[in-house]
Amino acid sequence: MRTTMKDIARECGVSVSAVSLALSGKAKKGRISEAKKEEILQTARRMNYYLNSAASDLARGQSRVIGMVINDIRNSHIAELDIAISQVLQNRGYSVVNHILHDQHKEEEEQLIRQIAAGNLCALIWAKPYEPDRIAENQRLYEIIDSLGIPVVTMDGYEFKSDGLNICYDYEKAGYLAVNYLIGCGHRRIGCIAGNQGYRVTRNRLTGYRSALEEAGIEYDEKLIYSGDYTMESGSQALSYLMGQHVTAIFAMNDVMAFGVYRSARNYGIRIPEDLSVIGCDNVPFAEVLETPLTTVGVPTEQMGIYIGEQLCRAIEEHPASMQNREGKKRKTVFYQPDLYVRGSVKKIQTGI
């Protein structure tokens, strides 16, 4: 049977309110002697009592629960970011609840958001990719989120009106850096494994791909673009098609799809980088431990996650209780720039081959 404050009060011969004050650390000097306070704390430890912080928060009209909405936890970049954010928040006494909202279940979005709204959250992390074509369709969702009256952090340039910040990553530059490096290594027939076409990240990385080709005087060829979905399976399926287009190198828009290329290459007896060069995007932890370490482009994900966690704590603590006091307050936008991580998966070839 779970120990209650009444049990501790009975054991120490004090009132329940005295136990509550001692355990919460809010006992004012003179109301409870230091000796009695220490006795209460020791008794609580001995009786394995744990303060129900959720109930305490509810009683004070406060919450220390933060919701995080993602679309696919299998993406190693998102998983690493989630871990870094959660560690900061948990160290500050907050709990993080993940909500997975798959793209193929769009009709469930509003229902999930309403469930989140009913969850007494103190903040929300919206980590779903931005979809430019669905702005009007998603407007109702954004209105519901803004109406929660809590700080909201996004992983893209969403136009929320609530307190919080947008954490952005220069997707176009990432595509440019990857393809420009391949061109610098002599590759001119460069295949691309794109992600979901509706995402801004996909379109921007494709723009970077095209910009690098154009700058080098290489004609853009749609036949060299394979439409994937950011999963390893789509990367595996892309290899045979792109090899049929006689590419010498592949730019995968995330490392997970690049891993799929590795898997299929092994099955087909294709050597990386001797027969095919591969470059990814995101710089996930596994990229450098492959038999042939993956050259990739990425941002300091752990550093970004720590920053998000710290800024979110600050936003919660500074968040005005009054809706009126929030009027005119601008959301902060932070841009992270990608870096190229050169490893062993790209081979230099003679220009013109």
pLDDT of 41-75, one tens digit each? 899 888 877 665 545 554 445 678 888 888 776 77
Asked which of 189-203, 278-292, 312-326 is least confident by mean pLDDT, the reply is 312-326
pTM of the model: 0.78
Adjacency order of strands within the sheet including 332-336: 95-100, 65-70, 123-126, 152-154, 164-169, 332-336
**CATH classification code of 65-162+301-336:** 3.40.50.2300
**Residue 33's pLDDT band (cuts 50, 70, 90):** confident
**In sequence order, what are the beta bridge partners of 341?**
296
Most distant CA pair in the chain, distance: 89
Two tokens, residue 215 = 């700058």
Q: Which CATH class is domain 171-298?
A: alpha beta
CATH 3.40.50.2300, the chain: domain bounds:
65-162+301-336, 171-298
Tokens 């720590």 map to which residue? Answer: 306
Two tokens, residue 342 = 């050169």
Measured CA to CA, the distance from residue 227 to residue 95 in angstroms comes to: 37
What's the residue count for the chain?
353
Q: What fold, for 5-51?
A: 434 Repressor (Amino-terminal Domain) (1.10.260)
108 φ, ψ (degrees, to nearest 5): -95, -5
Hey, how many other C-beta atoms are within 10 angstroms of the C-beta on 20? 17
What are the pLDDT digits (tens) for 189-244? 999 999 999 999 999 999 999 999 999 999 999 999 999 999 999 999 999 999 99
CATH 1.10.260, the chain: domain bounds:
5-51
